[in-house]
Amino acid sequence: MTPPLRRVTQRDIARMAGVSQATVSLVLNNRTDADVRIAPETRDRVLRVIAETGYAADPVARRLAARFNRIIGVFTYEPAFPSGSRDFFHPFLLGIEEYAERVGCDLLLFTSAPVVDGRRRIFHQDNRLRLADGCILLGREIDGAELHRLNRDGFPYVAVGRRDDAGGAVPYVGADYAAAVARLVELALRRGHRRLTYVGMGMTAESSQDRRRGFVAASATAESARQVSAVATAADATLDDLLADGSTAAFVEDFATAVALESAARRRGLTVPGDLSIVTLGDPTVPVPTDIAFTGFHIPREEMGRQAGEVLTGVIDGSAAGSQQRLLPCELVEGDTLGTPDPAVDRR
């Protein structure tokens, strides 16, 4: 009654069926090429033995011998699950999982990546990237040097979010922030706003650059359109600045900053959007409690995850060399925070 210590291999199957190991492999892979033929009776015999023993090919050996593994690697620059990033990563993972399930792939989360300077690194002493056929990269900012290395090594990958070239074009599935922000700016202009302010975070991430680009491009006809940087903790200072400038609409990159700004305005007896319009440029990335329905846009995160899977598959098998960079449209959200500026008040 001792369970078999050694697992069943093709050799065992072969012995039982009275054929060679190669034959078992051929039957298993359903090879019916012109130059490989197996008699139906032999095939059936082998299949019967396989069924009886419950044999399943060792995926590791299979991977070593052949090219592919049907494993999609997922690399998150921050831990995937902890609640801080929860709302940020979850929709992506949902889409990725759906895709993986559909095409019969497993998902490998590279949790073994060591943390250096507060963020995970793809390449390290003992990186295990090659366990997967390819890899989906998630993270607000992705290290350019690591993208270079991926390109150089020819390792298939795709970034979620648009990325600048890094020693070659970077395959990505991003959201079209520039277009979304531009549409919001146009909407504000149509409603009579003439002094607009973009309240941003940093300049490094591509997602920030794209939003700013959209803002600048669309606000050409505005009387004044400028950009300031803000930290979420200094909402009062930001508000002062907006009022001093006479801006009637704030385009706020970070959702939490928008919430803080609205609170600050309310504390001063100002109304939104009566005295100041506030537009958000993306969904919350961390849980922020608020009752306000902000005007802004929705990032199709789930769909981005799904399509990242598709693009990765294309990169892996070398097909679709063209459409390896996709920008998905964002859906505008008509909330309550973009109004009409009061023409009676000269805000300059």
Partner DNA sequence: GCGGCTCGCTAATACGTATTAGCATCGACG
Partner DNA sequence: CGTCGATGCTAATACGTATTAGCGAGCCGC
What tokens does 261 get? Answer: 């700004």
Residues in region 63-92 near DNA by CB under 7 A: 64-66
Rounded-to-integer distance, Cα 268 and Cα 288, Å:
21
Q: How far is the CB of 292 from its own copies (least distance, A)?
A: 19
Whole-angstrom Cα Rg for the chain: 27
Do residues 229 and 196 lie in contact, with contact meaning Cβ atoms separated by under 8 Å?
A: no
Instruction: For residue 331, state whether it binds its own copies (rule: CB under 8 A).
Output: no
Rounded-to-integer distance, Cα 109 and Cα 72, Å:
9
Of its own copies, DNA, none, which one does residue 250 interact with (CB within 5 to 8 Å by kind)? none
Instruction: For residue 10, state whether it binds DNA (rule: CB under 7 A).
Output: yes
Selected from 88, 97, 166, 282, the binder of its own copies by CB under 8 A is 97
| Half-sphere exposure of residue 59: CA atoms within 13 angstroms, side-chain side | 9
Which CB, 6 or 348, lies closer to DNA?
6
Selected from 62, 149, 183, 347, the binder of DNA by CB under 7 A is 62
Instruction: For residue 21, state whether it binds DNA (rule: CB under 7 A).
Output: yes
What tokens does 265 get? Answer: 């305005």
Of DNA, its own copies, none, which one does residue 293 interact with (CB within 5 to 8 Å by kind)? none
What tokens does 278 get? Answer: 């506030």
Of its own copies, DNA, none, which one does residue 19 interact with (CB within 5 to 8 Å by kind)? DNA
Do residues 97 and 301 lie in contact, with contact meaning Cβ atoms separated by under 8 Å?
A: no
- x/- map, 122-161, its own copies, by CB under 8 A: -x-xxxxxxx-----------------x-xxxx-------
Selected from 44, 52, 58, 106, the binder of DNA by CB under 7 A is 58
What tokens does 318 get? Answer: 């070398």
Which CB, 103 or 320, lies closer to its own copies?
103
CA distances from 129 to 57, 71, 142 (A): 22, 11, 16
Phi/psi of residue 128, each to 5°? -115, 25
Do residues 281 and 297 lie in contact, with contact meaning Cβ atoms separated by under 8 Å?
A: yes
DSSP, collapsed to helix, strand or coil, labels residue 297 as strand
DSSP, collapsed to helix, strand or coil, labels residue 279 as strand
Selected from 25, 79, 144, 335, the binder of its own copies by CB under 8 A is 79
Which CB, 123 or 233, lies closer to DNA?
123
Which CB, 131 or 234, lies closer to its own copies?
131
Instruction: For residue 90, state whether it binds its own copies (rule: CB under 8 A).
Output: yes
Count, residues in the chain:
348
Do residues 4 and 51 lie in contact, with contact meaning Cβ atoms separated by under 8 Å?
A: no
| Half-sphere exposure of residue 268: CA atoms within 13 angstroms, side-chain side | 15
Residues in region 102-121 near its own copies by CB under 8 A: 104-112, 114
Amino acid identity at 66: A
Question: Of 91-99, 197-205, 206-214, 260-268, which segment contacts its own copies by CB under 8 A?
Answer: 91-99
Which CB, 78 or 141, lies closer to its own copies?
78
Of DNA, its own copies, none, which one does residue 31 interact with (CB within 5 to 8 Å by kind)? DNA
What tokens does 181 get? Answer: 């922000």
Residues engaged in binding its own copies (CB under 8 A): 3, 5, 7, 54, 56-61, 63-64, 69-71, 79-83, 86, 90, 93-94, 97-98, 100-101, 104-112, 114, 123, 125-131, 149, 151-154
